[in-house]
Amino acid sequence: SYYALLRGGNKADECASAPPPGCQAPPVSECELPMIDVGCLTACGGGTEERAACAAAIASAAAEWGFFQVVNHGVKQELLEAMRREQVRLFRLPFEAKATAGLLNDSYRWGSPTATSPRQLSWSEAFHVPLAGISGTPCSYGELASIRDVTQEVANAMSKLANTLARVLAESLGHTAGQRFPKGCDERTCFLRLNRYPPCPFSPDAFGLVPHTDSDFLTVLCQDQVGGLQLMKGSRWVAVKPIPGALIVNIGDLFQAWSNNRYKSVEHKVVTNATTERYSVAYFLCPSYDSPIGACEEPSPYRTFTFGEYRRRVQEDVKKTGKKIGLPNFLL
């Protein structure tokens, strides 16, 4: 079965089977996301005019695309390469070890347990790590002991970048300069997700990750050069061309709500590859569950809600229908 292949861990890479039901996807064109040099924001230096131009470019990309790429972002390349090496070692463990050994705060997940049809299945496995649990996780990994330290270092670097970009985007909509944004968000409330997308015998009829929007304020993504990320631009899917050294940033649902729909949380997905595995690391900027999301100004098209309420509603919808509804649930 579809799940048996994926649960087979590395054996799934060698298996073949009939594709699940579904239509053949139409051809997808490749795009280059807006590329922004954020060195004036992440490093000492940079004049007022340069910083203002950078902030304007970020806000424009968030409004038009909901996605953009950044360079000179402050996350060292050697650190990202170390993370990739640790991911490869981690995901090569047998399925039973990943699922039951309590690695990275027992955060392993695979596929889509709530799926109600083949088109809701994700051909992938991941560690969705709550950052509050990394430093306190017992170091009982044996030869994989270094994964905790590298994961924490990557999270720290991506957190600094994510908070800088979120503050710039908020200030572009009138948030008081120098004040923390988003409120209720710190290293204890955010997540780092380590992804692996195995070669898929069903490709291109299966998703590596089903179409969705992110339920956070902001996501920072490091992907490898295999490709597979696609986003909805207008009414069609476009493939994101991997750029060495660049990180991808996308707006989440909470930022769209806070910005009164000026910034766009755009639907995206990962398509599978028949022969090559793909790795990525994503940092999710999330507030505490009891944090009200608020708005940049009133009136807002959305009623007041907390992050916890939003998460619960998303989970209820996925369990009931197999699909996230998201922000439309909270429209006034």
Reported as a single tens digit per residue, the pLDDT across 266-316 is 999 999 999 999 999 999 999 999 999 999 999 999 999 999 999 999 999
- What's the pLDDT band for 21 if we cut at 50, 70, 90? very low
Q: Which pLDDT band holds residue 146 (cuts at 50, 70, 90)?
A: confident
pLDDT at 17: 39
Name residue 321's beta-bridge partners.
none
pLDDT in tens, 67-103: 999 999 999 999 999 999 999 999 999 998 888 877 7
Confidence of residue 255 (pLDDT cuts 50, 70, 90): very high
Q: What is the pLDDT of residue 105?
A: 79
Residue 321 pLDDT exceeds 90: no
Which sign, positive or negative, has the C-alpha torsion 56, 59, 65, 70?
positive
Residue 166: predicted pLDDT: 97
118 prior amide bond cis, ω within 30 = no
More confident residue, 318 or 212: 212
Render pLDDT for 195-234 as a digit per residue (tens, 0 to 9): 999 999 876 678 999 999 999 999 999 999 999 999 999 8
Quick one: CA dihedral 126, 131, 132, 135, positive or negative? positive
Nearest to 249 by CA among 121, 57, 120: 57
Tell me: pLDDT of 141 over 80: no
What average pLDDT score do residues 237-260 get?
96
Rounded to an integer, what distance in angstroms lies between the CA atom of residue 100 and that of residue 95?
8
In this prediction, residue 12 carries a pLDDT of 42
- Per-residue model confidence (pLDDT) at position 322: 79
Confidence band of 11 (pLDDT split at 50, 70, 90): very low
Predicted local distance difference test score (pLDDT) of residue 115: 66
| 189 phi-psi bin (left φ>0, alpha ψ -120 to 50, beta other) | alpha
One-letter amino acid of 75: V
Question: What pLDDT score does 19 carry?
Answer: 42
Q: How confident is the model at residue 327 (pLDDT cuts 50, 70, 90)?
A: very high
Residues of the chain above pLDDT 70, percent: 86
- Tell me the CA distances in angstroms from 37 to 69, 74, 159, 278, one per residue in order: 9, 11, 18, 26
Look at residue 70 in the predicted model and tell me its pLDDT. Answer: 98
C-alpha distance across the termini of the chain, in Å: 43
What is the model's pLDDT at position 36?
98
pLDDT of 9 over the 60 cut: no
269 Rama sector, left if φ>0, alpha if ψ -120 to 50, beta otherwise? beta
Q: Which of 18-22, 179-183, 238-242, 320-324 has the highest mean pLDDT?
A: 238-242
And the tokens for 125?
């496995």
Rounded to 5 degrees, what are φ and ψ at 221? -125, 135
Q: Across the chain, where does the E strand assignment appear? A: 29-31, 35-37, 67-71, 108-110, 125-130, 191-197, 207-212, 218-223, 229-233, 236-240, 247-251, 268-271, 278-285
Pairing type for strands 191-197 and 278-285 reads: antiparallel
| 192 pLDDT more than 50 | yes
Other Cβ atoms closer than 10 A to 182? 24
Distance CA 70, CA 72 (A): 7
Neighbouring C-beta atoms of residue 32, cutoff 10 Å? 11
Rg of the chain over CA atoms, in angstroms? 19
Residue 3 has pLDDT above 60, yes or no: no
Query: Quick one: CA dihedral 283, 285, 288, 293, positive or negative?
Result: negative
- Rounded mean pLDDT of the chain? 87
Q: What pLDDT does 16 receive?
A: 37
Q: Is 272 within 8 Å of 200 (Cβ atoms)?
A: yes
> What number is the average pLDDT over the span 180-192?
88
d(CA 304, CA 288): 15
Residue with tokens 């809600």: 305
CA 299 to CA 122: how far, in whole Å?
38
CB neighbour list of residue 96: distance below 8 Å, 6 or more residues apart: none
Q: Please report how many Cα atoms fall inside a 13 Å half-sphere around the Cα of residue 254, on the Cβ side.
A: 31
Fold held by 40-289: Jelly Rolls (2.60.120)
